[in-house]
């Protein structure tokens, strides 16, 4: 193997030097995306969050007020989006920067 050889690592989705892969591979990422709220707390599936800002929901004609509690969130693959349910709004996705862990 020379310095110019690269191998596609399916675990990380990146091209890595063949020498690095032969020497022990790349550090495992565990495919776990860390989602943090507005103040830096780590969020997990099932957590309750509180809105820190009034948010206008597009398509629903409704505004969620600051202090509204959202129960039982679900994490998506994105580090900044959380999926949740709220009365009268289907498919609500919130940005993590607008919530605080309860």
Q: Does domain 35-101 have CATH number 2.30.30.40?
A: yes
pTM of the predicted model as reported, rounded to 2 decimal places:
0.66
- pLDDT at residue 67, rounded to an integer: 97
Cα 20 to Cα 95: distance, rounded to the nearest angstrom: 37
Contact between 54 and 65 (Cβ < 8 Å): yes
Q: Would you kindly state where each structural domain of the chain is located, as residue ranges?
A: 1-28, 35-101
Q: Is 9 exposed, middle or buried (0-12, 13-18, 19+ CB in 10 A)?
A: middle
| pLDDT tens readout for residues 2-61 | 556 788 877 777 787 777 666 665 444 445 688 999 999 999 999 999 999 999 998 888
Higher pLDDT, 17 or 64: 64
List own/partner pairs for 83-88 with CB under 8 A and 24 or more apart. Answer: 84/49, 88/60, 88/62
Element (H, E) at 14: strand 14-17
């Amino acid at each position: 193997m020379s310095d110019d050889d690269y191998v596609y690592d399916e675990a990380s989705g990146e091209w890595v030097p063949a020498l690095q892969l032969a020497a022990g591979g790349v550090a495992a990422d565990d495919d776990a995306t860390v989602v943090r709220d507005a103040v830096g707390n780590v969020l997990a599936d099932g957590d309750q969050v509180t809105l820190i800002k009034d948010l206008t929901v597009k398509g629903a004609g409704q505004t969620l007020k600051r202090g509204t509690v959202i129960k039982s969130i679900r994490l998506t693959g994105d580090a900044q989006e959380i999926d949740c349910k709220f009365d009268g709004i289907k498919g609500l996705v919130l940005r993590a920067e607008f919530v605080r862990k309860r």
